[in-house]
Amino acid sequence: MIASDDRVLALLAEERPEAMEVLYDRYGGLAYSLAYRVLQDAGAAEDVVQDAFLSIWRRADSYRPERGSLRTWLCSIVHHRALDRLRGRAGRARTDLPLEGAPAGDGVPDMFETVSLEIERDHVRSALVELPADQRQTIELAYYGGYSQSEISGLLGVPLGTVKGRTRAALRRLRTALEGKGLGEVTT
Amino acid sequence: MTSCDDVDLILAVGAVSGGFQDDDLKTVRDHVPGCARCRRSAADYTATADLLGVAVEQVPPPAGLRARILAEVYATSPAGAAVVARQAARTPPAPSLRGRLARLWRSVPSGRGFTLGGALAAAAAVALLVVSVTRGGGTAPLSSPVSASIAQPAVQGSFTYYPQTQTGVLSVRGLGPQPAHVYEIWLLRSATSVTPAGFLTQQPDGSWTAAIHGSISGYAMVAATVEKPGGVSRPTSDPVLTASLPST
């Protein structure tokens, strides 16, 4: 099936199950890789990915273009659920805040989605590598490792405020670097 | 009173951590909706953190994960519900179908061994495999390959049954279009019992799928025939594909 991510979203809104086949074939590997990276457990990662995909199937209408692309939305769901699983909790208040507007997708062809994911991946990796070592370490522990700021403080032996400061500084640097590549932009 | 800088720090940490601690959540809810600067920060941090997910090293997902997800999707889709409704609305075929069924079984290429006896033997072999699979709990998906017919030799695919949800998914490639006709699915219990089980639906990529809901216990085979739109209560043509059903 050839379909842009926008078309996949439109099919999901129509409750067309074949859209989930496209979504999984396109981003199932990404979702599983992220869940596995956080959880380091194949069975738990599988459960999280299944839960995330079924969540999208049941609530495709909750997608908000201003939050980003379909794949970053999926990553966000997988990440949150992986963290919930890791911390043994049923759920945590999401960062679903009123956001500024961002441009929606424009119906690009299927091949572009694949290529753009590769480009996006390279840009994000490069931006991470270019972070100062202490900031990169903090982001990796927090986002990919699922450690709380307090846990990171204990692990690294630095004050909690320092960890939070590094987290914010890292995000700001990442944002600047990625916006320079046309990623993660939010327009007003 | 909390300053924008304090809130900004909370927003950054929350974006990376997937949410807020209770105290921080209250602060955010009290402050952000009325502060354009912090709304902007929230958007920026969230968009940036969401991009981090795409950077992970690729790890191949387990082979059965796709099937598990799609079985649940098809089982809960409106199309799946329609299949169930059609099954419930139809009258079981009369015993006079014996001749039609015998022809149906025989019409599959003999090189594939799909006589009635061969099919039952294949089903028995699958059953042996299933016994070994299901000892651990009986919820693992059970799959069997599709056999093509002479009329449509390029057909490939599989029938996968999910015991936990009692859902079967027939997935086929290489099936040609049939203008003004449909591919109707049949479940065969024996040479004297055939049950309509819905229709194959063509997907945008050219493949065909059908979801079959309910237990397949007692059925030996699934088959598809070309029928008029809306379907018929008993087969009127030779099968274009067949697949042995695993025992449950």
Highest mean predicted confidence (pLDDT) among A117-126, A134-143, A177-186, B101-110: A134-143
Predicted pLDDT of residue A186: 56
Check if the beta carbon of residue A46 is closer than 8 Å to that of residue B65. Answer: yes
B32 close contact with A: CB closer than 8 A: yes
**What contacts B217, CB < 8 A, 6 or more positions away?**
B247, B248
Domains in chain A, start-ordered, CATH in brackets? 1-91 (1.10.1740.10), 108-183 (1.10.10.10)
Of A108, A81, A78, A83, give the one whose Cα is nearest residue A7.
Answer: A108
Under DSSP, the state recorded for B151 is S
**Coil vs helix vs strand at A145:** coil
pTM: 0.58
Binary contact (A76, B50; C-beta < 8 A): yes
Binary contact (A171, B40; C-beta < 8 A): no
Determine which of A8-17, A22-31, A36-45 has the lowest per-residue pLDDT on average.
A8-17
Binary contact (A175, B25; C-beta < 8 A): no
> pLDDT band for position B144 (50/70/90)?
confident
Label residue B91 exposed, middle or buried (CB < 10 Å: 0-12, 13-18, 19+). Answer: exposed
> pLDDT band for position B13 (50/70/90)?
very high
Q: Which of B12, B45, B59 is nearest residue A36 as measured by Cβ atoms?
A: B59
d(CA A133, CA A39): 23
Of A22, A98, A15, A75, give the one whose Cα is nearest residue B55.
Answer: A75
Q: At which residue do the structure tokens 């986002």 appear?
A: A143
> pLDDT band for position B150 (50/70/90)?
low
Residue ranges covered by each domain of chain B: 4-55, 65-244
A136 to chain B: closest CA residue? B52
Give pLDDT tens digits for B35-78: 999 999 998 898 899 899 999 988 899 888 988 888 888 888 77
Q: Which of A57, A171, A178, A181 to mutate to test the interface with B (most CBs of B within 10 A)?
A: A171
Check if the beta carbon of residue A94 is closer than 8 Å to that of residue A103. Answer: no
Counting other chains too, the contacts that A38-43 makes at CB distance below 8 Å and 24 or more residues apart are A38/A79, A38/A82, A38/A83, A38/A86, A38/A144, A38/A145, A38/A146, A39/A82, A39/A85, A39/A86, A39/A146, A42/B62
**Coil vs helix vs strand at B209:** strand
Predicted pLDDT of residue A89: 53
Under DSSP, the state recorded for A58 is H
Q: What is the third-level CATH fold of B65-244?
A: Immunoglobulin-like (2.60.40)
Determine which of A158-167, B83-92, B121-130, B140-149 has the lowest per-residue pLDDT on average.
B121-130
Helices (H), chain A: 5-13, 18-39, 42-58, 70-86, 110-129, 133-139, 149-156, 160-179
Helices (H), chain B: 4-17, 22-31, 36-52, 65-75, 78-89, 98-106, 116-134
Angle at B170 between CA B112 and CA B116, to 5 degrees: 35
Binary contact (B12, A168; C-beta < 8 A): yes
Quick one: what percent of chain A has pLDDT higher than 70? 80
